[in-house]
Amino acid sequence: MVGGGAGSFIGPVHRMAAELDGNIELVAGAFSQDPARSRQAGETYHISPDRAYANYQEMMERERKREDAIDFVCIVTPNHVHLPVAVAALEHGFHVMSDKPATATLKEAQTLEAAVKRTGLLYGLTFTYTGYPLVREARRMARAGELGKIRKAVVQYQQGWLSTSLEATGQKQAVWRSDPAQAGLGGAIGDIGVHAFNLLEYVSGRQVVEICPDLSSVVAGRSLDDDCNVLLKLDNGAPGVLFVSQIAAGDRNDLQLHLYGEKGGLHWWQENPNYLHVNWVGKPSQTMHAGGDYLSAETRAEFRLPLGHPEGLVEAFANIYRDFAAGIRARFSDPAAPLSELVPGINDGVRSMAFVERAVSNSRKGWCAL
């Protein structure tokens, strides 16, 4: 693991999720830029003291020489560190599981894409919401044509935690997210807009080909966007809307997908993720529940508990890790074995960074191609 030191948010979640199914064990890390804090985090994670490294370069060099070397590197640092760590890992022969956004800029994402292609190693991206079983069920339904031709998409991700100038208080997660040198090109669009963008494409099977963005920095003194409203055009001509905000006062993690085909519309809400609603034309509405034996066999295999026991964000992360672990295991016997298409990869990383770059540079300038 690179990142994930004391006081960090998502590193410990990755650790829990990766280890949930017994396929993966955290054995080494460079958990902080500060060597002492990295060692201290290593103790918390109960890893061998000689494998809590001073920095990621030392970790790659020393791990490469071990007989029991790591198999892959998990990246949970602020965005500007994603590219150098990912490239170093690939060049040292390690697969990569990175948190989003892929990189800080589109150009960096393209550099990373070249490194992934050059090395032929596995690269997974934790667009977390793609790991929820009912999101995957929605994907299967939409892609099998059960909704008919997709005619409208609405995706929203509304948070309120940056409604005030939280970064001015020194809050760790707010400080780097509002600093272009660490967050990259995008504020809210880079932090949560990429989740919304990816979710829409992941489920619908359609690509966004044109956008008309309107981004704002609502809180005084903030240089990056904190509110984004974007009209979309999909590759089948269907219109769509994506809106994300981190100044939606009082909202928590209000990620919603509404996807309308000719035969009906499906609706999924992250804050109540064990339900998938479909409103059919001319038929009663349907509510599917996690664990239901009427779901597809693939979706049923993605639950760990029987009907009525809620699963959540950690399990969604764990589904992505389970598929990633299967991909690595397959590589032990077949060096060309592909990663499951259910795991977002570098193509999703580049597409979502293109979305961020175009949205920021074309805000309030009308329609542009993606």
Give me the residues that bind ligand NAD (CB under 6 A), please.
Answer: 2-5, 8-11, 30-33, 56, 76-79, 81, 99-100, 126, 128, 172-173, 176, 191
Q: Which is nearer to ligand NAD, 45 or 260 (CB)?
A: 45
Whole-Å CA distances, 24 to 3, 151, 242: 18, 41, 35
Q: Which is nearer to ligand NAD, 198 or 299 (CB)?
A: 198
Q: Which is nearer to ligand NAD, 172 or 365 (CB)?
A: 172
Q: Which is nearer to ligand NAD, 33 or 217 (CB)?
A: 33
Instruction: Tell me the closest approach of the beta carbon of residue 188 to ligand NAD, in angstroms.
Output: 12
Gyration radius from the chain CA atoms: 20
Longest dimension (CA), the chain: 64
Q: Give the list of residues 6+ apart from residue 127 with CB closer than 8 angstroms, or none.
A: 100, 194, 195, 198, 199, 202, 344, 348, 352
Compute the 3-state secondary structure of the chain and give helix, strand, coil in percent, each to the nearest 5. Answer: 40, 20, 40
Question: How far, in Å, CA of 242 to CA of 186, rounded?
Answer: 15
Contact 35, 50 (CB under 8 A): no
Q: Which is nearer to ligand NAD, 137 or 191 (CB)?
A: 191
Q: Give the list of residues 6+ apart from residue 176 with CB closer than 8 angstroms, or none.
A: 78, 79, 182, 183
Instruction: Tell me the closest approach of the beta carbon of residue 337 to ligand NAD, in angstroms.
Output: 25
Instruction: Tell me the closest approach of the beta carbon of residue 178 to ligand NAD, in angstroms.
Output: 12
Instruction: Tell me the closest approach of the beta carbon of residue 13 to ligand NAD, in angstroms.
Output: 7
Nearest to 1 by CA among 79, 71, 93, 101: 71
Instruction: Tell me the closest approach of the beta carbon of residue 177 to ligand NAD, in angstroms.
Output: 8
Whole-Å CA distances, 241 to 131, 153, 199, 224: 23, 6, 13, 21
Instruction: Tell me the closest approach of the beta carbon of residue 221 to ligand NAD, in angstroms.
Output: 20
Q: How many Cβ atoms sit within 10 Å of the Cβ of residue 366?
A: 8
Q: What is the identity of the amino acid at 33?
A: Q
Instruction: Tell me the closest approach of the beta carbon of residue 321 to ligand NAD, in angstroms.
Output: 12
Q: Which is nearer to ligand NAD, 55 or 296 (CB)?
A: 55
Q: Which is nearer to ligand NAD, 186 or 291 (CB)?
A: 186
Contact 222, 188 (CB under 8 A): no
Instruction: Tell me the closest approach of the beta carbon of residue 7 to ligand NAD, in angstroms.
Output: 7
Q: Which two tokens stand for residue 96?
A: 């990569």
Whole-Å CA distances, 65 to 3, 47, 59, 92: 22, 18, 10, 10
- Grouping H, G, I as helix, E, B as strand and the rest as coil, residue 279 is strand
Q: Which is nearer to ligand NAD, 57 or 363 (CB)?
A: 57
